[in-house]
Amino acid sequence: MGWSVKVAVIGTSIFLFGFIFGFYGFHKFLKSQIAKNAALVEGTDMRANWAKTPIAVEFRIYLFNVTNPEEVHKGAKPILQEVGPFCYDEWKEKVGFSDDPDEDESLALMVEKDTPALLTMANRGIPHLYNHQKTVFVTAKAKEILFEGIYLNCTSKDFAAVALCTGIRMNAKGLHKINDNLFKFSFFGVKNGTADEARLTVKRGKENIKDLGRVVALNGKPEMKVWDAPECNQIVGTDTTIFPPFTQSSEDLISFSPDVCRSMGAKYQRPSSYKGIKTNYYTANLGDMSKNPEEKCFCPTPTTCHKKGIFDITKCTGAPIWLSLPHFYETDPFYLSQVEGLSPEMEKHQIFVEFEPFTGTPLAARKRMQFNIPIHKIKKIELMRDLPDALIPIFWIEEGLELVVSSIDLLENKLFRTMRMVGVARWVMLIVGLAMIGFGGYSYFANTQTVDLVKQPAPPAEKQWPGG
């Protein structure tokens, strides 16, 4: 075998190796390693980080102050003032593992809804519980509203108060019990530092990595029994803390939240980048049950649906709370027109995720949700006799996550830099291989066309005779 043929054969080998390994083998190997390390297998870093978040989630709370309470009692439009943020570090930890083989109610509104005949009794009893409160709006310190609690006094011997307190004692799960006659209500105090009652069964991704973190049961049940149709009772998506790798932009990031008895999907918007790493940018909202047929089963009644951007969780929590995005962002303008003082802005109030699809890693995210309570006239409750019709924001929360520099560097240095190096090496091998094939082929062709030239002797000269 001539040297030109050897060059061509070596070049072909380099080309094939660069093509097969660069376009197929390396990615296949890399995906298998990511899938292996991403599965929730006991003893792995992924399992440990999923069970207990290695970094704190930023938790911010914004309260709303009603600046004209007396006028609102006479039917005026509520004027709101945002107060905050009140900032906390939120540490999340999952407890009570087992590997398988393979809030206080708004009393008057709930009484009106469930037992309207008892409104007269509620009217007499409520002032005793709140120390003869003269308004439906409570004045308290932020730390009392959020964590320390506001007193509910059940010491009165008034018949109506005793009847209401009997109900409170039977349903005191969301209250901090001081003694049998004294309770405290706060938004987060009872839950702070305690385990959630919801027990989720999730897939570990050992058999199929696309199932990683997918919730398959809530408290042992494969579906809920909260809403009026099976499609809304389905449990779909992950537990919000983990997502499978290799996610395509055509796929929504779906997660299930037992706190609101619903699955929600973040939708792909555009390619993006975060601190030099390419990401996909996703956003989420609360949908439109008034127009989307798939969300009709979230309507309070078959004939009554809320407008765009409102989600009523009364059936889920037992309290008359309606969710929206902060400041009624991406919500029907009707709700914004009922109050004054709100200014919805995309940058401040949108839900978004900067998502690295290959590893399934959220590099940055902001989950924002506003809690609202509807008010309206209730003739049999003195304090609510002249209230306007309005959906009043109580507070909104923001949970924020940004990967620390060390985690970003880990992805950048150990994964994406390696991928880029392999990408460059792939093209270098393809180009070098083609060049060697071309050079070897040209040399071989040139050699086969060479002709050896031999000088022929000249013919003898013709003899000349004298005289012709």
Q: Could you tell me if residue 466 is inside a domain? A: no
Is 122 found in the same domain as 77?
no
Is 245 found in the same domain as 135?
no
Is 131 found in the same domain as 262?
no
Q: Could you tell me if residue 366 is inside a domain? A: yes
Give the E-state strand segments of 3-106 in sequence order: 57-66, 80-90
Domain count, the chain: 2
Distance CA 369, CA 350 (A): 9
Last residue of a domain, one of 170, 194, 218: 194
Last residue of a domain, one of 138, 167, 194: 194
Is 355 found in the same domain as 334?
yes
Q: Could you tell me if residue 332 is inside a domain? A: yes
Q: Which domain holds residue 299?
A: 57-94+199-419
pLDDT value, residue 176: 72
Output b/e per residue, 348-385; b: 16+ Cβ within 10 A. ebbbbbbbbbbbbbbbbbbbbbbbbbbbeebebbebbe
* pLDDT single digits (tens) 224-276: 999 988 889 999 998 887 888 888 888 999 999 888 899 999 999 999 988 87
Is 66 found in the same domain as 124?
no
How many of the other CB atoms lie within 10 Å of CB of 463?
Answer: 5
Distance CA 230, CA 445 (A): 73
pLDDT value, residue 352: 94
pLDDT value, residue 277: 82
Is 224 found in the same domain as 189?
no
pLDDT value, residue 34: 62
Q: Could you tell me if residue 46 is inside a domain? A: no
Last residue of a domain, one of 177, 194, 211: 194
Q: Could you tell me if residue 1 is inside a domain? A: no
Q: Could you tell me if residue 389 is inside a domain? A: yes
Is 134 found in the same domain as 89?
no
Q: Could you tell me if residue 464 is inside a domain? A: no
Q: Could you tell me if residue 120 is inside a domain? A: yes
Is 130 found in the same domain as 63?
no
Which parts of the chain register pLDDT below 50?
Answer: 103-106, 108-112, 114-123, 125, 468
Is 382 found in the same domain as 257?
yes
Is 187 found in the same domain as 63?
no
What's the whole-model pTM score? Answer: 0.74
Is 286 found in the same domain as 230?
yes
Is 103 found in the same domain as 89?
no
